[in-house]
Chain A
Amino acid sequence: MRIEVEGVRKVFKSRLGQVVALGGVDLSIDQGEFVCFVGPSGCGKSTLCNMLAGFDTPSEGRITLDGQTIKGPSIERAMMFQEPALFPWLNARQNVAFGLNSLPELKNKPDEKHAIADRFLKMVHLAQFGGAQPHELSGGMRQRVALARALAVDPKVLLMDEPFAALDAQTRDHLHIELQTIWRETRKTIVFVTHNVREAVTLATRIVVFTARPGTIKAEFNLEELEFPRSGAASVVNETIARVQSALRDEVAKVEAREYDQPGAPTPVAGGRA
C-alpha cells in the first residue's frame, strides 16, 4: 500500500473569486504509517483528506493509491468524519456491518457479517451494545461505533477528518488511547486530520504541518522513535509538541492577520491552539 500525492493543487471558485485551497502538495504515505495533517484553519488539510477519500478531485496534479488514480469514494479508503454519521435506522451492529454488504465475498452470508461486526464492536469495547440504536449511545460511543464501522471493511487506509473534535476532552483522551491501541494491534495505515498539535503528537508516527492558505507542506516531523504511550508528562513529548507548534505559529499568525481587522489584531498566544 502506498499513497502518492503529486503536485496537487485545489482551487475553489466562490462568489468572491478563486480560492486556492491547496497550492501544490507532494506527499507519499507508506503502509502502516499513522500520518497526522496539522495546519491552521482553512489550510486545505481537510480538502486533501476529502480528495484522498475520493469525494473531491484535484484541480491539478494527481493522487494515486498503489499506482491507481483515485477517482471516487471506495471502501479501500474508508473515512470517518467529525460527526459519527451513523445510520439512525440501524442498530450498532448493523451499522458496523453496513460496509460489509459491499464486499462480494460476503454476499448472502449474514452470519459471517454478523460475526465480523461483533468482532469489531468488541475491538472498540462495545460488544454488549450491538443491539442499541445510535440515539441510545453517548457521543463517544457513537464515534467508536463509527470507528468500528470504518475498520470492519478492512480498508487499505483509514481516513479520519477531525474525528474527535466534537467530543469533550475527557472522552477524547480515552478515544486517543483506544485508537492508539487499535493502531498498534492492526498497523492500519491512518491519515488523521486535526488542528490540535497535542492530539497529533499523541497519535502520529509522522506529522505533516501545512502552511496557511494556499496550503503547502511547511514541515514534516518523524515521530517513529517516540515511544507509545505518549504521556503528556514525558518531557520528550512536550518538546516535540513545542517543536511542532513553533513550525505552526507563523502560519496561524498569517491566518489571524488575514481574518482579523488591522491593526489591533489580538497577538496570537504562543503556539496557537494546542
Chain B
Amino acid sequence: MESIKSMPLRPQNNSVPNSLEATTSPSTTPQVTAPQAIAPQAIAPHTIADVPDSADTSDALKHDKSSRQSGADARSSEASAVGASAVGTATRPITAGQANTESGTTKKVIAEKAAARRAFWSDVAIRAAFVAFLVLLWHTAHYVLVTRTQSWSGALFPAPSQVGRWLWDGFGLSYFTGNYDKVPGHELPQSFLEAIMQKDYVRSIGASIYRLVWGYAIAVVIGFPLGLLVARFSLAEKTIGWLSLSLQSLPSICWIPLALLWFGRFGAAPILFVTVMGALFATVVSVADGIRNVPPLLARAGRTLGADGVRLYSSVLLPAALPGIVTGLKIGWSFAWRSLMAAELIVNAGGLGFLLQRDREFGDAEGVLATILVIIVIGLGVQALVFAPTERRLQNLWGLSGVRS
C-alpha cells in the first residue's frame, strides 16, 4: 500500500490491485503503519496524486480519474485504520504520515490553483471569442442592411465601431487620442481627470452605483430581519410573507407613478424609493426560503447539543441557510438594479437610465446601445467580483463544488 504514495501517476492500472489488496485485508492483518500513513489521504482524496507541472488538459483529466481511485482507497484504508486501532496495538507514525501529506497537500494546492487558473483563462478565451463573433455578426448585419442595401438608416442601426467610438469618447479616453468632442458649456479639459468629469459615463455610473448601494442596503437592512421573522413565526409568514410574495410579483416600475406623486419629478428620492421597493420583497422571500430549506436534521442536531433560541439561529440556522441567503441577496441585487434603471429612465435625475432616455430624445442610437453595454458590463462585474467569489468560497467550504467536470 505504501507504494501508492510514491507511485508515479502514469501507469494507472497499478493502483487497482493496490486498492483491492486494501479492501480484502482490512482488520485481520494488523498492518498498523500502512493504513495510518495512508489514512490522511481521505482528508483530500486527491492529495496524493502528483500532477505534473506542465500538465495539459488531458493530464488533468487523467489525474481526476486517479483521484477518484484514491478516494476509494482512502475509504477502505480508513476502515482498516479503525480495525487496527481497535486491536489496540497501534503505535502510530503520525509524524511520518503527516509530513508526507503536508508536502503532498502543498503540491496539490499549487496544482489545483494552476488548474483553476487554466480553467479561468479558458473560460475568458471562450467568452472573448463569442463576443468577437457577435460583434462580427453585428458588423456584417450593419454592412448588409445599411452600407450595401441601405434598407435601414445608419443613424438608427449604428455599426459596432460607432458605438465603440461613442464609448471611447464617453469615458473621456478621446483626451489621449486627439479626437475629443468638446462638451458644450465646458472649456477643453486640461487633464484626463477633467475630461472624465466633463463626459457622461463615469459620472453617471457613479450616480447610479451610489443609488444602487443605498437602495440595496436599505432593502437588505429592512428585508433581512423581516425574512427571519417570516421563517420563524407562522403569523409573520401568513401576513408579511404573504404580502411580500404578492408584492414581489408587482413589477417595480409600477411604483414609479406613486413615487413621482410623493417625491416629485426630480431628485434621487423617487428613484431610491422604487429601488428599495424592487429589492425589498425579493430579499424577504429569499431569506425566508433560505432558512426554511435548512435540513430539519441540522436543527435537531443543534438542539440536542444545547443550542436553543437565539443561539440556534445564530450558530445553526443562519449558517446553514447561508447558501440560500446568498442566492437571495443576489436575486435582491438584480431586482434592485433593474428597478433602478427603470426609475432613472423616467425620473429626471441623472444616472445611466437618464442617459438612455436623453440619447433617445436626441436620436443617438449609438449612445443608447453604448449605455446598454455599460449597464450589462456593470451587472456582469458585480456578479463576477462580489457574488461569484462568495459563492465559490461557500462551495469550497461546504463541498458542493466539483459537480462539473
Residues of A that sit less than 8 Å from B by CB:
53-55, 72-75, 77-79, 81, 83, 85-89, 98-99, 101-103, 125, 127-129, 131-141, 144, 149-150, 153, 159, 170-171, 174-175, 177-178, 181
Residues of B that sit less than 8 Å from A by CB:
26-27, 39-40, 42-45, 74-75, 78-79, 81-83, 85-86, 94, 97-98, 295, 297-298, 300-308, 311, 315-316, 319-320, 322, 397-400
Contact indicator B305/A178 (Cβ below 8 Å):
no
Contact partner, A89, options B42, B297, B319, Cβ 8 Å? B319
**A41 to B308 alpha-carbon distance, docked (Å):** 31
Contact indicator B320/A140 (Cβ below 8 Å):
no
Going nearest first, the 3 A-B pairs with the smallest beta carbon separation are: A135-B399, A102-B306, A99-B305
- Nearest A residue to B301, CB-CB: A85
Known: A87-B320, A88-B399, A125-B85. A55 touches B79 (CB 8 A): no
Contacts between chains A and B (CB distance < 8 A), count:
129
Chain B residues lying within 8 Å of A102, measured Cβ to Cβ, are: 305-307, 311
Contact partner, B298, options A55, A85, A133, Cβ 8 Å? A85
Known: A128-B39, A177-B82, A178-B82. A89 touches B320 (CB 8 A): yes
Contact partner, B42, options A88, A101, A138, Cβ 8 Å? A138
Contact indicator B398/A89 (Cβ below 8 Å):
yes
**A83 to B301 alpha-carbon distance, docked (Å):** 10
**A170 to B305 alpha-carbon distance, docked (Å):** 29
Contact indicator A128/B98 (Cβ below 8 Å):
yes
Contact partner, A77, options B298, B304, B307, Cβ 8 Å? B304
Chain A residues lying within 8 Å of B85, measured Cβ to Cβ, are: 125, 178
Contact partner, B79, options A75, A86, A99, A174, Cβ 8 Å? A174
* Consensus secondary structure, chain B interface: helix
Chain A residues lying within 8 Å of B45, measured Cβ to Cβ, are: 136
**A102 to B319 alpha-carbon distance, docked (Å):** 17
Known: A75-B306, A81-B301, A89-B398. A140 touches B322 (CB 8 A): no
Question: What are 28 A-B contacts defined by CB distance under 8 Å?
Answer: A54-B304, A55-B300, A73-B300, A73-B303, A73-B308, A79-B304, A85-B295, A85-B297, A85-B300, A87-B320, A89-B320, A89-B322, A89-B397, A101-B311, A127-B94, A133-B397, A135-B398, A135-B399, A136-B44, A139-B75, A140-B79, A153-B305, A174-B79, A174-B83, A177-B82, A177-B83, A177-B86, A178-B82
Contact indicator A138/B305 (Cβ below 8 Å):
no
- Nearest A residue to B90, CB-CB: A125
Contact indicator A149/B305 (Cβ below 8 Å):
yes
**A184 to B220 alpha-carbon distance, docked (Å):** 53
**A78 to B27 alpha-carbon distance, docked (Å):** 30
Known: A136-B43, A141-B78, A170-B79. A75 touches B86 (CB 8 A): no
Chain A residues lying within 8 Å of B311, measured Cβ to Cβ, are: 101-102
- Nearest A residue to B39, CB-CB: A128
Contact partner, A136, options B298, B301, B399, Cβ 8 Å? B399
B46 to chain A, nearest CB (A): 10
Chain B residues lying within 8 Å of A101, measured Cβ to Cβ, are: 306-307, 311, 315
Chain B residues lying within 8 Å of A83, measured Cβ to Cβ, are: 297
**A142 to B45 alpha-carbon distance, docked (Å):** 15
B314 to chain A, nearest CB (A): 11
B395 to chain A, nearest CB (A): 10
**A153 to B97 alpha-carbon distance, docked (Å):** 30
With a 10 A CB-CB cut-off, give which of B78, B295, B399 has the most chain A CB atoms: B78
Chain B residues lying within 8 Å of A53, measured Cβ to Cβ, are: 304
Beyond A78-B305, A83-B297, A87-B320: 10 further Cβ-contacts under 8 Å? A85-B300, A87-B301, A102-B307, A136-B42, A138-B42, A138-B78, A140-B78, A150-B304, A171-B82, A178-B82
**A89 to B398 alpha-carbon distance, docked (Å):** 6
**A132 to B308 alpha-carbon distance, docked (Å):** 26
B277 to chain A, nearest CB (A): 33
**A88 to B311 alpha-carbon distance, docked (Å):** 17
**A79 to B43 alpha-carbon distance, docked (Å):** 26
Contact indicator B298/A174 (Cβ below 8 Å):
no
Contact indicator A128/B97 (Cβ below 8 Å):
yes
Chain B residues lying within 8 Å of A88, measured Cβ to Cβ, are: 320, 397-399
**A98 to B85 alpha-carbon distance, docked (Å):** 26
Contact indicator B319/A141 (Cβ below 8 Å):
no
Chain B residues lying within 8 Å of A139, measured Cβ to Cβ, are: 75
- Nearest A residue to B26, CB-CB: A170
With a 10 A CB-CB cut-off, give which of B40, B94, B306, B308 has the most chain A CB atoms: B306
**A29 to B321 alpha-carbon distance, docked (Å):** 38
- Nearest B residue to A141, CB-CB: B78
A143 to chain B, nearest CB (A): 11
With a 10 A CB-CB cut-off, give which of A55, A127, A137, A178 has the most chain B CB atoms: A137
Contact partner, B399, options A79, A128, A133, Cβ 8 Å? A133
Contact indicator A153/B306 (Cβ below 8 Å):
yes
Known: A89-B319, A140-B78. A178 touches B306 (CB 8 A): no
B13 to chain A, nearest CB (A): 24
- Nearest A residue to B101, CB-CB: A128
B398 to chain A, nearest CB (A): 5
**A242 to B273 alpha-carbon distance, docked (Å):** 75
A268 to chain B, nearest CB (A): 32
Contact indicator A134/B399 (Cβ below 8 Å):
yes
A110 to chain B, nearest CB (A): 14
Known: A81-B300, A174-B83, A175-B82. A74 touches B306 (CB 8 A): yes
Contact indicator A87/B298 (Cβ below 8 Å):
yes
Contact indicator A181/B86 (Cβ below 8 Å):
yes
**A188 to B247 alpha-carbon distance, docked (Å):** 55
Chain B residues lying within 8 Å of A149, measured Cβ to Cβ, are: 305
**A206 to B143 alpha-carbon distance, docked (Å):** 88
Chain B residues lying within 8 Å of A175, measured Cβ to Cβ, are: 82
With a 10 A CB-CB cut-off, give which of A89, A132, A139 has the most chain B CB atoms: A89
Contact indicator A98/B315 (Cβ below 8 Å):
yes
Chain A residues lying within 8 Å of B82, measured Cβ to Cβ, are: 125, 140, 144, 171, 174-175, 177-178
- Nearest B residue to A75, CB-CB: B306
